[in-house]
Amino acid sequence: MARRTTMAVLSLLLVAGMSATACFGGHGEHTGGRSSEPRKASIVIVSVDVSPNEMNDVAKESVATFKIKVVLHNDGEANGSVLLRMTGMKGTFVNESITLGENGTYEKTYDWKLQGDRRHTAEVSITGDVGDQSNMPAAADLHYRSETPGFGAMMALCALVATLWTIGRGKGQQEGAGNVR
């Protein structure tokens, strides 16, 4: 007589996102197996630091270089990749693909060239195998020195003309004072 074996497969979806499978064979045999969801990467931006965060007394219309230090970390359980992008007022100035291993950290400092007497802002963002923190702002203040120190060129010219006029007027009065009787 042929023996017939029956197998039942029971799959459970657990609350934590894991799945478990148990196989029960015939004749009282029990084979248990466990499979889980694929491990995932979870890359986050840990910090974005600008240095210096302010420059003063910079020559007018010159370009100043600031440094942006970016730290990324993979909190996940697998290798992952992201596209790191930094975008400012004049468009994207960093566009770099980064791969991090499980529990890996990435740290790099980038140049940020700025021009214009004002507060400059940029957005640092990542796309791909990202976790909760996928963008972070950066800001720096650039201040030009005043064009002319002190009174300024126009005030100096006005002072010179007024002085010469006063001297000239004084000489004219002295000459005229001698004719009065």
Same domain, 71 and 14: no
* Structural domain for 112, as ranges: 43-144
Q: How distant, in Å, are the alpha carbons of 15, 46, 55, 86, 135 from that of 93?
A: 43, 20, 20, 6, 15
Give the pLDDT of residue 166. 78
**Residues 66 and 103 reside in one and the same domain:** yes
For the segment 94-110, the average pLDDT, to the nearest whole number, is 97
Look up the pTM and report it: 0.62
CATH number at residue 87: 2.60.40.10
Residues 4 and 55 in one domain: no
Same-domain pairing of 52 and 139: yes
Percent of the chain with pLDDT over 90: 55
Mean model confidence pLDDT for the chain = 78
Of 40, 101, 102, 112, nearest to 70 by C-alpha is 112
Q: What is the mean pLDDT of residues 56-61?
A: 92
Span 47-74, average pLDDT: 96
Query: Which pLDDT value is given to residue 151?
Result: 53
Task: Tell me whether residue 151 is in a domain.
Answer: no
